Structure 1
């Protein structure tokens, strides 16, 4: 009887995963195409990354609920890499990302990525979202986007003016704005309606309208799936010795790894199943990128949009992500012509919506209100990513986070009181380091003269050599000018490293 119950339960699990995989497939299909087009990559290669992310990364141990594929968070970096090195180098970069991730996973460094400052992550995502929104507003309006962020900001008035004077631009804007409005409104519809993915509904309706009314809008160019593959050869692999290309590879690897593991932490809070094994998940992501790179496709990450759709749709095991990859393969191989009717303004609207969520202006405001220093780090990181580039912004954010942490860890307070016997008691608490020496000495210089001064250092958690020397010098000077100084319980110096 127990065996029958177990078989019945197993069948229900398979059915749940089957239903969830179909939902995730419908969410992933337009995102794979849209992210690829926004990255300057053929739509077919975006689908290849989705297929590999489902079948390869999804089948490996790590996280049972995550779904991997091309991510909006890598769009800017991939577009810059394709522009700088050419489409033929993309597979090599993705291969390199996979190798880095596998090595990090085997070295069991996966959990260390969770130690990245949340303010830097928030700023990184906001900066990527800002660049994504600014870049995708142009295809939404039927225009060509300038190369630089300042150019994109300055060119918006001209693109908007063209909508009023050019029929094709007006049609493109109408399709894009209508798609964007539907995506926003779909989140407020009835729960039963929301079981159908909003991106699928919005893009499908836009495609039907463009095809039915023969609207003059640009559409996705899709060819045969297997003809789009760009297998890296030996000459392409040698390009990994290029320092600039290697730097791009490492940057994408770090950001893809961080995004995947942050997604894993978020998805784990959404379900009651087994938690993510971070090092195993990192190896799985690396294997997926290794496989995608061998086919010339862009890099992948675990994607929170698809992963959350998997959880909400009732996915139970890794079968759901794997099947979603199978459905992508079957659809792209057998019905590629259907993708050719999708309007580019609709995909641009999809990515503007995704970019706005990454930008999350309300979240930035809340961060500033909750902690001005942390919020400022996020804001500076986002602005620098938008104005300069992603690597500069992230490195600046890390530097600010380290400085802020060091400043906070060196927090020290100086209080003095006069005792009943007219002695002066000075208490110093916290962490006395060279960073706060000017403030400490300034407060000590304001201590009034007295018959005897007692300096209580027992409340210090740390006293570095610079602070110890300065306090000794101040006490010696005080003895010469005002009399006795008694130091109480100074902490022992840290032992020297062996």
Structure 2
């Protein structure tokens, strides 16, 4: 007997003295990436900016200390912005804590039941469609604060209001000012990626925010800016009296979407480094613990975030200490320097989220899927379109159902070949998978054979024969034999 053993993370890692320098530097890079995104996601979600920081702190310190993944960094994610905003609008911000708490407990249960690996068995078209749909909704909503306007509540209102928004942005001082600062943010962020590697150690997102904010302050521009209050004033225990059917449904949606996004991120991050692989069920429990704490504090939900995780790997992190330290830096910043956040214009954060939404669209991947498999591309478009038109849950579920139907259709491919052998014999050869989905075609061929000929039915090329097709073949053979003709059914041994 051969016994396979898995080396532990502790055995595969060098001592902390050899890795602390790398982890300290990486933690500062991740902190600089996470800070503006935590604030931006919170503002876009319709909650105080402080709650985004709280989620980032919990994601760094609580989830960072737990096993599961070594390099993933957790916090508030742009992918959940649409879901949180809709939930707050429907149930109120007071219900957010109990929803996130319930979602976290459900994630822990799913991890304990070893359901984490099942999240990997989702069609790439659905995943890409979900991300593209979220990106479209994010862009559509953030165009308004990017141009100095108030965001409408409904999707149709956002679409129908675009012409008026463009007129406002091009003809009013407030619109031109906000748009100019936002465009400056995106331009600096993108161009920074073309600088030498040593310079790129400072994240482009941070540089874009600092430059645009500095210009707006130095020029004395009249812009709406982030409102930051006392961190302790925004924290509150969940109110369990708010639980109803809608809140329970929101818990399930938050748990599933957060889990899927975290574990999709894990698969991507594992391809970026050669260290210990993610243990999916353990990571799901860790994410659930983080969301449970966020729920108890009334903060935003969290997921593992690919942008921060990639920055962590690229900055040379060696252990989970880097993500814990990034949470410590977030906490120290919001406690010691909260006034700095109040200088950032809303248009700057909107620009960052528009840029994030554009990256979520993944246009190169969509184009590649269109060339490779139009059916998969149709599932992507269906998923993204329904997310924009309805909501995240409806679009994702519809995409999953479409993917299941497509898969069932593909695996039930059946080839039926009829070859005459002389004047009195027919040879019918079946290849592939004979399932109920192909039963009408199979019956059409068999019942179309004349009752005056001997038939040899060759089933040796079938990979699968379900009960419905088996019964149809048996009934057809019985009728042929009752007519006094020979039917030779050849089955695989």
Q: Fold-level match, TM-score > 0.5?
A: yes
1:43 aligns with 2:49: yes
Following superposition, the deviation at residue 252 of structure 1 comes to: 0.9
Spell out the pairing of 1:42-441 with structure 2 (5 A cutoff).
42-232=48-238, 236-240=239-243, 242-419=244-421, 423-441=425-443
In the alignment, the residues of structure 1 paired with residue 412 and residue 384 of structure 2 have an alpha-carbon distance, to the nearest angstrom, of 27
Structure 1, residues 263-286: CA drift from partner, whole Å, max 9, x if none?
111111111111111111111111
In the alignment, the residues of structure 2 paired with residue 118 and residue 450 of structure 1 have an alpha-carbon distance, to the nearest angstrom, of 51
In the alignment, the residues of structure 2 paired with residue 28 and residue 341 of structure 1 have an alpha-carbon distance, to the nearest angstrom, of 17
Structure 1, residues 339-365: CA drift from partner, whole Å, max 9, x if none?
000111110010011111111223222
Name the stretch that deviates more: 73-82 or 467-476: 467-476
In the alignment, the residues of structure 2 paired with residue 276 and residue 265 of structure 1 have an alpha-carbon distance, to the nearest angstrom, of 8
Structure 1, residues 13-39: CA drift from partner, whole Å, max 9, x if none?
000000000000000000000000000
Q: Structure 2: any 5+ residue segments left out of the alignment?
A: 1-11
Structure 1 residues 148 and 9: alpha-carbon distance in aligned structure 2, compared to 1, 3 A threshold:
same
In the alignment, the residues of structure 2 paired with residue 270 and residue 162 of structure 1 have an alpha-carbon distance, to the nearest angstrom, of 44
Structure 1 residues 8 and 292: alpha-carbon distance in aligned structure 2, compared to 1, 3 A threshold:
closer
Query: 8 Å contact 1:219–1:344 — kept in the other structure?
Result: yes
SS of residue matched to 2:418: strand
Structure 1 residues 444 and 186: alpha-carbon distance in aligned structure 2, compared to 1, 3 A threshold:
farther
Query: 8 Å contact 1:60–1:284 — kept in the other structure?
Result: yes
SS of residue matched to 1:458: strand
Structure 1, residues 280-339: CA drift from partner, whole Å, max 9, x if none?
111111111111111110100000000000000000101000000000000100000000
Following superposition, the deviation at residue 449 of structure 1 comes to: 7.6
SS of residue matched to 1:219: coil
In the alignment, the residues of structure 2 paired with residue 29 and residue 148 of structure 1 have an alpha-carbon distance, to the nearest angstrom, of 29
In the alignment, the residues of structure 2 paired with residue 183 and residue 483 of structure 1 have an alpha-carbon distance, to the nearest angstrom, of 79
Structure 1 residues 212 and 355: alpha-carbon distance in aligned structure 2, compared to 1, 3 A threshold:
same
SS of residue matched to 2:397: helix
1:27 aligns with 2:33: yes
Query: 8 Å contact 1:450–1:482 — kept in the other structure?
Result: no
Query: 8 Å contact 1:414–1:427 — kept in the other structure?
Result: yes
In the alignment, the residues of structure 2 paired with residue 195 and residue 340 of structure 1 have an alpha-carbon distance, to the nearest angstrom, of 25
Query: 8 Å contact 1:416–1:447 — kept in the other structure?
Result: no
Following superposition, the deviation at residue 141 of structure 1 comes to: 0.6
In the alignment, the residues of structure 1 paired with residue 219 and residue 324 of structure 2 have an alpha-carbon distance, to the nearest angstrom, of 37
2:8 corresponds to: none
Following superposition, the deviation at residue 473 of structure 1 comes to: 3.1
Q: What is the RMSD of the two structures over their aligned residues, measured on CA atoms?
A: 2.0
Following superposition, the deviation at residue 157 of structure 1 comes to: 1.0
Following superposition, the deviation at residue 488 of structure 1 comes to: 1.1
Query: 8 Å contact 1:68–1:302 — kept in the other structure?
Result: yes
Name the stretch that deviates more: 362-371 or 210-219: 362-371
TM-score (norm 2): 0.94
In the alignment, the residues of structure 1 paired with residue 73 and residue 396 of structure 2 have an alpha-carbon distance, to the nearest angstrom, of 26
SS of residue matched to 1:191: coil
SS of residue matched to 1:188: coil
2:6 corresponds to: none
Structure 1 residues 486 and 163: alpha-carbon distance in aligned structure 2, compared to 1, 3 A threshold:
same
In the alignment, the residues of structure 2 paired with residue 39 and residue 157 of structure 1 have an alpha-carbon distance, to the nearest angstrom, of 24
Following superposition, the deviation at residue 369 of structure 1 comes to: 1.8
